[in-house]
Structure 1
């Protein structure tokens, strides 16, 4: 065992992205499931690993790293994989831009419209859907403008891992995005060409599908940020 530990949640898109990069890199690690429903992520003990109390966290022989983008970059750098994280300055910049776009806009809009209402006292509204449609349109335009098979290159990169795990949230709730033809083609290409990676991601997608119709009871928690749904 490498001494690598991943504190993750089985249906969390950022956790799934990190699990996929570890599969790509063939790095052994210990997966430690954080009990989200029990509130382990907001405990003082977990805060020692990540003061933001968010999941996932990577522990590499006593070195703690949060923020899934940073984790993906760190692992690709450490294991010198220039295919999923190119060395060329412009190619890498494009990957980094897609990672930033996902965090600030794409996954952000999916989080607000799809994920948060599953677990907390948030509503899906015309405004949250409008923001999601804008994000989808932007991503579709990136794919159309640059003409790559994948999100930032003709090869799979760490950007795809984040964007795929965001997109699977739409599939989980049967949100129709087929009008965005470039996204649809990219998403199906990822599934067809990366069966082992999709097998990891699909587990989370199916769990989210379950939670969408069977929301967990979190009323016992006092979350520091999100309003808890009253049951």
Structure 2
């Protein structure tokens, strides 16, 4: 299987976390985002959205990071990251969809303004940072309260939900994500960051 990715992409990171945890071998193919390779004809042929990651499994092309996460889990016998029973699976999916709709978009605005733009010579838009921080403040308390009595996000064990959300916070430090007031999220992040999969997928950049 080939994974078209970029190491600083949170969407790529969540797929790498799952593949690494499950020992799924992937041929990594770099898509040079700063140079705009994602908008080139070749990559648009793989993903018309012009984004990473994209999985190529012997001609089966799959984009959307959380769909790839689930696909890798489904192809791995004996895995425990994605339940096979209907209720357990729905519980994990609930958090995958919540992350995609709420938490990750809020974090992404701040990451783009405070980390990506300065890295690529752009100028931070204070109004956009404020918008991202407002969205972050709207959604982070829900996750923090949920984690108050839990070690992991779903099913009382490590699941795709943890990797999905942790990847959204991967650049928390350099992007200055406002996590300081959320002790339960911070403690949970420390647990995720202690995992071998996290350490083995760490990009060459300031840690969050």
TM-score normalised by structure 1 residue count: 0.80
Contact 1:58 / 1:71 at 8 angstroms: preserved in 2? yes
1:137 aligned partner: 141
The 1:12–1:208 alpha-carbon spacing in structure 2 relative to 1, beyond 3 Å, is farther
The 1:200–1:13 alpha-carbon spacing in structure 2 relative to 1, beyond 3 Å, is farther
Q: Post-superposition, which runs of at least 4 consecutive aligned residues in structure 1 deviate over 3 A? A: 119-122
Q: Aligned-residue CA RMSD in angstroms?
A: 2.0
Aligned partners of 2:48, 2:31: CA distance in 1, in Å? 15
1:49 aligned partner: 46
For the pair 1:199 / 2:202, whether they are aligned, the reply is no
Query: Deviation at 1:141?
Result: 2.3
Contact 2:110 / 2:177 at 8 angstroms: preserved in 1? no
Unaligned runs of 5+ in 2: none
For the pair 1:16 / 2:16, whether they are aligned, the reply is no
Aligned partners of 1:96, 1:112: CA distance in 2, in Å? 23
The 1:127–1:38 alpha-carbon spacing in structure 2 relative to 1, beyond 3 Å, is closer
For the pair 1:115 / 2:112, whether they are aligned, the reply is yes
Q: What secondary structure, in the 3-state scheme, does the structure 1 residue paired with 2:169 have?
A: helix
1:180 aligned partner: 182
* Number of residue pairs aligned between Structure 1 and Structure 2: 201
